[in-house]
């Protein structure tokens, strides 16, 4: 593996991001592989993705020009992009507490989707993505909030047991037929 560079994604990376997301979408991964390798549930539309890229909310990891991983962040002001999990988060943010404070009273951004190409997993790219996110979003936000399907133990292990995200709540999502663990990490401490 050559050097991996992490930086904000550009509009020309759109197809590579969509391809990586599509390859790892729940509906495109069989049950056995889902349990072992993980998967993403939320599908980001091209329009939303373009908007996120313009606002430097999509972080890519690259080997030469090849995109090998992405992290898509969402700002609180943009949580109305018709993603059920995020709409739900807004509703329940008044009941969830983090470090003794109501989530609703903190400045937080949401992690909409994260994916690493299969060939590049277990190579330390995940902390690099969060390190960059921390630099980019840390000055504006206190917490990064993520959602991990309870049927994705690999992602839970990486985020909670290895990177120290806290589990701050759960909710049942009837639309995506999933129970989500809501996880959070102070942004300035990531990385
Ligand atoms: C989840 C993901 C981002 C993690 O990145 P990664 O590079 O694989 O992460 P890590 O380097 O932490 O390696 C995986 C860890 O999980 C462990 N692991 C692997 N399969 C596992 C499983 N089925 N259950 C529990 N833990 C598992 C590995 O042993 C390793 O932990 P260790 O270093 O303590 O041995 C990546 O696997 C991925 O993109 N998966 C597909 C999409 C996805 O699930 N996205 C997250 C949506 S919330």
pLDDT in tens, 112-127: 899 999 999 999 999 9
Best mutation site among 24, 124, 157, 159 for ligand 1 pocket (most ligand atoms within 8 Å of CB):
157
For domain 4-189, give the CATH number: 3.40.630.30
What's the CA gap between 115 and 101, in Å, rounded? 30
Would you state the pLDDT for residue 191? Answer: 44
Which atom of ligand 1 lies at the shortest distance from residue 124's CA?
A: 11
Any atom of ligand 1 within 6 Å of the Cβ of 36: yes
- Summarised one tens digit per residue, pLDDT across range 18-34 is 999 999 999 999 999 99
Best mutation site among 122, 124, 131, 153 for ligand 1 pocket (most ligand atoms within 8 Å of CB):
122
Q: Whose CA is closest to atom 47 on ligand 1?
A: 40
| Nearest CA-CA partner of 53 in 63, 44, 62 | 44
- Summarised one tens digit per residue, pLDDT across range 69-120 is 999 998 765 655 555 666 777 777 778 888 888 888 888 888 889 999 999 9
């Amino acid at each position: 593996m050559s050097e991996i560079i992490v930086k904000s994604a550009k509009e020309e990376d759109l197809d590579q991001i969509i391809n990586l997301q599509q390859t790892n979408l729940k509906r495109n991964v069989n049950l056995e592989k889902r349990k072992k390798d993980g998967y993403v549930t939320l599908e980001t539309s091209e329009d939303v993705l373009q908007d996120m890229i313009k606002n430097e909310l999509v972080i890519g990891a690259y080997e030469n020009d090849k995109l090998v991983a992405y992290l898509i962040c969402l700002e609180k002001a943009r949580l109305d992009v018709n993603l059920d999990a995020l709409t739900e988060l807004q509703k329940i943010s008044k009941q969830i507490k983090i470090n003794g404070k109501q989530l609703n009273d903190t400045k937080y951004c949401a992690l909409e989707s994260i994916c690493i190409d299969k060939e590049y997993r277990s190579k330390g790219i995940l902390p690099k993505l969060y390190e960059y996110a921390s630099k980019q979003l840390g000055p504006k936000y206190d917490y990064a909030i993520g959602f991990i399907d309870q049927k994705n133990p690999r992602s839970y292990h990486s985020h909670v047991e290895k990177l120290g995200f806290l589990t701050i709540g759960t909710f049942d999502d009837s639309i995506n037929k999933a129970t989500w663990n809501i996880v959070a990490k102070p942004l300035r401490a990531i990385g």
